Structure 1
Amino acid sequence: MIAQLRGLLAQVEADRCVIDVSGVGYLVQASSRTLAALPQPPELACVLVETVVREDAILLYGFAEASERAWFRLLTTVQGVGAKVALAILSALQPSDLINAIAAGDKAMLTRAGGVGARLAQRIVTELRDKCEGMPTGLPAGATVAAAASGPAATRGIAADALLALSGLGFRRAEAQPVVERVLDRHEGKVDLDVVIRDALKELAR
């Protein structure tokens, strides 16, 4: 089983990337957060991997952080949550947000993810409420879940969401990422998603 890949990042698409390891290109599916955390091709990249073996395929799912991989494993234990939906949830919510949403029974927050309706959100809350204790938050040591909304993890989440939105509008990730980073730097990371997208569009249109 493949647990980690380190090699040259050959290609990045909306929901996957290709990592060249000694001349072999591995197709790795990933959340928008993990893809946003990767360097620019063709720089060296390293991702943690969850290997899923099916009768007709061997699929690789990549993660920038161990916390995201742990949540992927937990989410896919819920009936109706396959790998694609799990990645959609991890694209919409960082681990600390997931803990908050499940603990509070916030189904609306979970339905922000593509493919998650009210019924599936309720099932996630019901089945995982007692399993969240001890799950990683993805926050730095000493940080609390309550502080996540204003910390670096939240900034990374906004960047990932902005890149996903700009990709949907036809902009290539390679041209959009530096613009998003500049917008976040100007606001010192304290800015809403809609403002980041608006300012980035203004700059990209020049």
Structure 2
Amino acid sequence: MIGRLRGTLLDKQPPWLVIDVAGVGYELEASMNTLVALPAPGEVVQLYTHLAVREDAHLLYGFAREQERSLFRALIKVNGVGPKLALAILSGMEEEQFIRCVMDDDIKALTRLPGVGKKTAERLIIEMRDRFPQWTRATLDGIPGQATSTRPTEANAMVDAEAALVSLGYKPTEASRMLSGLGDELSTEALIKAALARKLAG
């Protein structure tokens, strides 16, 4: 089991990133919250990881915080929630936001996430409620450093952001609507984060 990686960030194309560890390039899939927390390519990063072994592939997922990984692992134990939906949930809201939604029975907020219908939201609340007491006071320390990569052209940033939202489960028309009117100077990661925040706010 690969539990943590420390190396040089080679590339990040949401929701994917590549880390060079002693000459070996590890490809990981990560939530948008983790991707936004990462520094620019070329910087050293450390991520907590989860390895999912399937018949046809070994998939590695990366997380900026150990609590985010713990929540991911708890989510994929819920009936009907796989790694893709778990990442979409983690991309759509911070861990503490999700915990509050579960504790407050906020089905409406959960159903704004891609792939989460009313029944799934109800199942998440029922199955996850008893798993949070030990997490609610945890320190949410992200990876040091801010993302400072050179901003691509506005058009490319919008295209990449829309593709990332579609990969999370949003329909192309919905992803386009979520991005409509957002700032001209935003990076791909910032566009995604702003679009997800807009969706969550309703």
Normalised to the residue count of structure 2, the TM-score between the two structures is: 0.70
Q: CA RMSD in A?
A: 2.6
CA contact (8 A) 1:96 1:138 kept: no
Per-residue CA distance 1:22-80 (angstroms, 9 max, x = gap): 22111101000001111111211111101111122111110000110110011111011
2:164 corresponds to 1:170: no
Q: Distance in 2 between matches of 1:40 and 1:47?
A: 15
Give the structure 2 partner of residue 121 of structure 1.
121
Segments of structure 2 that go 5 or more residues without pairing to the other structure are 147-154, 162-177, 187-202
Cα drift, residue 112 of structure 1: 2.4
Give the structure 2 partner of residue 55 of structure 1.
55
CA contact (8 A) 2:65 2:140 kept: no
Give the structure 1 partner of residue 151 of structure 2.
none
Cα drift, residue 97 of structure 1: 0.8
Relative to structure 1, the CA distance from residue 126 to residue 168 in structure 2 (aligned partners, 3 Å threshold; closer, same or farther) is farther
CA contact (8 A) 2:14 2:160 kept: no
Segments of structure 1 that go 5 or more residues without pairing to the other structure are 142-151, 157-165, 173-193
Give the structure 1 partner of residue 71 of structure 2.
71
Give the structure 2 partner of residue 85 of structure 1.
85
Per-residue CA distance 1:159-199 (angstroms, 9 max, x = gap): xxxxxxx9772268xxxxxxxxxxxxxxxxxxxxx9xx74x
Give the structure 1 partner of residue 17 of structure 2.
17
Per-residue CA distance 1:110-168 (angstroms, 9 max, x = gap): 12221111111111011112222212565459xxxxxxxxxx9xxx9xxxxxxxxx977
Give the letter for the 1:76 counterpart: I
Give the letter for the 2:43 counterpart: E
CA contact (8 A) 1:14 1:167 kept: no
Superposition misfits of 4+ residues, deviation over 3 angstroms = 136-141
CA contact (8 A) 2:18 2:27 kept: yes
CA contact (8 A) 2:111 2:118 kept: yes
Give the letter for the 2:131 counterpart: K
SS at match of 1:127: helix
Higher helix share goes to which structure? 1
Higher relative CO (Cα under 8 Å, sequence separation at least 6) belongs to: 2
Q: Distance in 1 between matches of 2:50 and 2:140?
A: 23
CA contact (8 A) 1:30 1:63 kept: yes
Q: How does 1:88-167 map to 2 (within 5 A)?
A: 88-136=88-136, 139=139
Give the letter for the 1:6 counterpart: R
Percent identity over the alignment is 41
Q: Distance in 2 between matches of 1:23 and 1:140?
A: 30
Q: Distance in 2 between matches of 1:90 and 1:14?
A: 14
Per-residue CA distance 1:75-126 (angstroms, 9 max, x = gap): 1110111001101111111111111100111111112221111111111011
